[in-house]
Amino acid sequence: MATARALASSREDNDMKIAFIGLGNMGGGMAANLVKAGYEVRAFDLSEEALIAAKDAGCETFDTAREACAEAEAVVSMLPSSGIVKAVYTKDVIGHAPHTAVLIDCSTIDVATAREVADAAHAEGYKMVDAPVSGGIAAAAGGTLTFMVGGEHHAFDAAQPILAAMGKAVIHAGHIGAGQTAKICNNMLLAITMIGTSEAMTMAEKLGLDPQKFYEISSQSSGYNWSLNAYTPMPGVGVESPADKDYAGGFATALMVKDLRLAMEAAEGAGAAVPLASRAAALYEDYLGAGNEAVDFSGIIKTYS
């Protein structure tokens, strides 16, 4: 593996210090891309293995989130739940990072918590955005994520160059919480289209149609959708996807269920009618309960065979 010194000497100079909290499957690749872009990354995670990987990627590592934030001009987080985001920001970031730092939470959490944490940050004079991502582990490693960003214009302007170093698209969705709204609605739609695609492909095969022929037809006609065209759920058909790797990697079913639970909670709170999403959520809950937590969400096609 390349050493931190070798990586540092091969990239463009950039004096900006960025604290990165949460170095899991997504955060690890994102932090590495900030290093490649020339930023000085101050990394923290509870996992020693993740810290070692971050150090190998050129990050400086710290024993606590508070220490990582101490001299940061920006803080980026990628954390697994609303409760953890709230705890990290209220205990370790707000009041410990310099007040001039921009705070960027890339976690997928509920809208209410995103707004609550941002309100606490704003009360202390910080700029903050919620910036959940779309694209999965490969996009995080490759720097091709899409960021959906909620926050005031001045906060977005401060966060945009940092996010651009980790993604292919950075879209300002609106005020704080708008990024989370976009993310959960997008993934709700993704769940519906993946189930619909799985049903159609399996039905076509059972009716005697070659699945590849169905893909060639539907992917160029009114059945066109991302789940079919860019993430084909049937192995050996269409584009290469987790289906061709026994549904390993990609977007775990546990994460899809997490997002669908957030979507169902938000729909109830908003009084929004989501019958298709409700059914999709129930199907994914069943699939999760059958021991498929780490299986890519497209693996749900196997329940139709």
Residues belonging to the active site: 183
Q: What is the dihedral of CA 261, 300, 24, 48, to 10 degrees?
A: 110
Answer yes or no: are the C-beta atoms of 211 and 219 closer than 8 Å: no
Answer yes or no: are the C-beta atoms of 77 and 83 closer than 8 Å: no
Q: Which helix (H) or strand (E) holds 39?
A: none
- Using DSSP bridges, classify how beta strands 74-77 and 167-174 pair: parallel, antiparallel or unpaired: unpaired
Of 17, 127, 148, 15, which is closest to residue 70 (Cα–Cα)?
Answer: 17
How many degrees, rounded to 5, is the angle at CA 189 between CA 239 and CA 245?
A: 30
Please state at what angle helix 178-206 crosses helix 253-270, rounded to 10 degrees: 120
Chain centre distance of CA 36: 20
